[in-house]
A and B are shown apart, each in its own frame.
Chain A
Amino acid sequence: MVDDSIVSRKFSYIRESKWPVEAIDLHHVVVRRSRAKRFFLRLSVVVVLANSFFLVSIKNEPVTFIFGSLILSGLVVKLMLWKPVDKESVIIMPALGVQLETHYFSGKVVQRFFPIGKILRPVLLECVSPVTCYWSLSLVIRDEDELMLVFKELHPPVKMLVPIWKALCANIDDKERPDTEDG
C-alpha cells in the first residue's frame, strides 16, 4: 500500500507499508529515466563508435592507441551519463532493525542490515565535495568510527530525506522508550 510519494526531476520517492505486516515501513527512492539523458547516452555511444571506426580506418595507427582511445571514451561516457542504479530502499522493521538495499539495472541487489541495537542515531548532514554540496542521510552506528551512508549511490533531495529521517528517528525513539504495557 503506497502511503506517500514525492516526485522531483531526477528521483521519485515512494513510501509504503508492506502487507501482511503493515508495521514494516518501506521507503524507496527510484531513479527517473530522463529522455534527454537517454538521448545523450545514445549519442555518446554513436560518437564513440564513429571515433573507433575512424581510428581503425586510418592506416599505420598503433592498435594500443585505438584501444586506449576506446577505453577512455567509454570511461567518460560511463562517468558522465551512465548510472547503473535503479533504486535504493530503506526498510524499517520495528524492534528488529533497518535494512538498506541498492537495486541495479542488471538485477543485482546489495543489502545491508543493521540491528536496532547498533543504531545510535540517524543524522542529516551537508556534504561538501570540490565541485558540489548536497544533503545526505547517515546512521551513527555503535562502535563504528565512520558514519554509514543510507544512500550510497544516489543523492536524493532533502525533501525526500526528511520523511525517511523522521521515520528512522521515530523507530529509534520507540526502541529507547521503556515498555510500560503489561503483557
Chain B
Amino acid sequence: MWRRVASLSPLFSSIRSSTLNQVVVITHAYGNRSGVRYMTGGLKVYYLPWRPFIMQNTLPTFYGTLPIIRTILIREKIALVHGHQAFSTLCHEALMHARTMGYKAVFTDHSLYGFADVGSIHMNKVLQFTLADVSQAICVSHTSKENTVLRSGLPPEKVFVIPNAVDTAMFTPAPKRVDRNEIIIVVISRLVYRKGADLLVEVIPEVCRIYPNVSYLWKVSVSLLVRFIVGGDGPKRVRLEEMREKHSLQDRVQMLGAVPHAQVRSVLISGHIFLNSSLTEAFCIAILEAASCGLLTVLPDDMIVLAEPDPVDMVLAIEKAISILPKIDPQVMHDRMKKLYNWHDVAKRTEIVYDRALKCSNQNLLDRLSRYLSCGAWAGKLFALVMIIDYLLWRLLQLWKPAEDIDEVPDIILPKNQDGKVLQDFDAD
C-alpha cells in the first residue's frame, strides 16, 4: 500500500511479470484520479477516495479504512500485504487490519529518521506498534536497517536489505555529448532543509566565483564557464531565488521549479555533474538516475566524489569533480549502472521475503497481544486495546457483511503475442 505509487511501479511490474504473482496496489486518490485503474502489464491500482488534506497526506482514521481494506483483500484473494513508508497513515492502518484478519504482513522503510525531536519520538512509537506484529521487514540500505531496528525494536534477523534500483531503459545518456567548455551542474531535489537546500545557497555562489569565465585546468588557461540547473520546489526555493538575485547569477543559475518525473531525464542529460546535497539519505534513487544518464555523481570510487555537509568541503568536491570530468564516459557509466541496479533483481529478492513471510506460523489474537504489551508500560496496553477493538470491529463486519457477499474478482489474463509469450511492459516507450 502506497502513499505514492509512481516511483515504485517498476518494482510491482517486475514482481508481476517475473512469476505468477498477482499484484494489487492500494493508495489514496490524487486529484480526480479515483477508483480502479489498470496499468501496464495488468497491474491493478485502487485509488481510495480518502482525500488528502495537505501535501498529499491523509489524516489517520484508525478504524475507518477497515471496511474497504477488508473488502479489497477478500475480493482480490490477497495472500500477503506489503506496506511502504513509515509516514503513510494508510500503510499503518492497512497493516494493522491485515494482521487482525490473519494476513501475513511485510513492511518496507524507505527513509531515515531521528530520535530526538517530538515528531520523531511519536513516529517511532507508531512504527513500533506496526512492526510489533509484521512477519518480515525490508530496508533499502544497511544504514537504513540499523536506523529502523533501533527505532522500532524489531529483531535484526527479521529485516532484509534490498536496495532500490533504477529504470536504466528510461534513464539513458544523451546521444550527443554536451559541450565541455561549459560545465553544467544539475541539482534535482525537493528544496527542503533535509535535502540540504541551505547548503546550496552557500555553495553555488562560491563555485560561480571560482569559475567566472577563465580557469586554469591542467596548467593551461582555458575558457570554462560553470552553470547550475536547479530542478525542484519547496519551502527553501525562496532562499535560492534570493541568492540568485543577491549575487546576480540569473544567467548562470537556472531555476526550473517542480520537474515531472517523466521529464527528469531530459534535465539530467543537459548537464555534466549531478550534485546531491542531502543531509541524510537512506537510499538516493536520484543519484542512480543521474549516474544512469552518465553524469558524474555518487557511486563506486571512480564514479563518486563525497563531501561533508559543509559548504567549503562541497566546493572542493565540485572542483575535484570538474577536474576528473574528462575521464568520464557516460555510456560506460550507464552500462555499469545497468548491471549494478536492476528492478528484476529487486523483485526476485522481494519474492524471497514474501516466501519467508508466508511460511511464518499463524497466531491467534492472544499470542499477538503479548507482542504489543511488550512495547512499553503504558503504550503496550494502549496498543493491545487498539488491536482488541480492531478485532471486535472486524467480527462485527463479518456479521454485517459476510465474506460470501463480496464478489471475488476474476484473474486478469494478459494478452499474448504470436509465440504464445505474454506481452512485456513497454517501459522504453
A contact residues vs B (CB 8 Å cutoff): 8-10, 126-135, 157-159
Tell which of B47, B48, B404, B407 touches A134, judged by Cβ atoms closer than 8 Å: B407
A133-B68, A133-B75 given; A128·B407 CB < 8 A: no
A132-B71, A133-B46, A133-B68 given; A157·B405 CB < 8 A: yes
The answer to whether B68 touches A127, judged by C-beta atoms less than 8 angstroms apart, is no
A10 to B64, CA, bound (A): 25
Q: B35: which A residues are within 8 A, CB to CB?
A: 126-128
The answer to whether A9 touches B48, judged by C-beta atoms less than 8 angstroms apart, is no
A159 to B34, CA, bound (A): 25
- B402 interface contact, C-beta 8 A: yes
The answer to whether A128 touches B46, judged by C-beta atoms less than 8 angstroms apart, is yes
The answer to whether B405 touches A130, judged by C-beta atoms less than 8 angstroms apart, is no
- B208 interface contact, C-beta 8 A: no
Q: B49: which A residues are within 8 A, CB to CB?
A: 128-130
B contact residues vs A (CB 8 Å cutoff): 34-36, 46-50, 64, 67-68, 71-72, 75, 401-402, 404-405, 407, 409
Q: A159: which B residues are within 8 A, CB to CB?
A: 407
A135 to B404, CA, bound (A): 15
CB nearest to B36 among chain A residues: A126
The answer to whether B71 touches A133, judged by C-beta atoms less than 8 angstroms apart, is yes
CB nearest to A133 among chain B residues: B71
Q: From residue A130, how far is it (CB to closest CB) to chain B in Å? A: 5
Q: A134: which B residues are within 8 A, CB to CB?
A: 407
A9-B402, A9-B404, A157-B405 given; A131·B36 CB < 8 A: no
The answer to whether B402 touches A128, judged by C-beta atoms less than 8 angstroms apart, is no
Taking A9-B405, A128-B35, A132-B71 as known contacts, 11 extra A-B pairs with beta carbons closer than 8 A to each other, sorted by chain A number, are: A126-B35, A128-B48, A128-B68, A129-B68, A130-B49, A130-B50, A130-B64, A132-B401, A133-B46, A133-B75, A157-B405
CB nearest to B410 among chain A residues: A158
A159 to B405, CA, bound (A): 11
The answer to whether A130 touches B407, judged by C-beta atoms less than 8 angstroms apart, is no
Q: A9: which B residues are within 8 A, CB to CB?
A: 402, 404-405
A10 to B407, CA, bound (A): 13
Q: B68: which A residues are within 8 A, CB to CB?
A: 128-133
CB nearest to B409 among chain A residues: A126
The answer to whether A157 touches B36, judged by C-beta atoms less than 8 angstroms apart, is no
A159 to B401, CA, bound (A): 18
A53 to B46, CA, bound (A): 47
CB nearest to B402 among chain A residues: A9
Q: From residue A16, how far is it (CB to closest CB) to chain B in Å? A: 24
A126-B35, A126-B36, A159-B407 given; A131·B402 CB < 8 A: no
The answer to whether B67 touches A132, judged by C-beta atoms less than 8 angstroms apart, is yes
The answer to whether B67 touches A128, judged by C-beta atoms less than 8 angstroms apart, is no
Q: From residue B397, how far is it (CB to closest CB) to chain A in Å? A: 10
The answer to whether B72 touches A133, judged by C-beta atoms less than 8 angstroms apart, is yes
The answer to whether B407 touches A158, judged by C-beta atoms less than 8 angstroms apart, is yes
A1 to B84, CA, bound (A): 55
Can you list 17 contacts pairing A with B, beta carbon distance less than 8 Å? Answer: A9-B402, A126-B36, A127-B35, A128-B35, A128-B46, A128-B47, A128-B49, A128-B68, A129-B68, A130-B48, A130-B68, A131-B67, A132-B67, A132-B68, A132-B71, A134-B407, A158-B407
Q: B407: which A residues are within 8 A, CB to CB?
A: 134-135, 157-159
Q: From residue B133, how far is it (CB to closest CB) to chain A in Å? A: 24
A8 to B406, CA, bound (A): 11
A10 to B71, CA, bound (A): 17
A133-B72, A133-B75 given; A10·B405 CB < 8 A: yes
CB nearest to B400 among chain A residues: A80
A158 to B75, CA, bound (A): 12
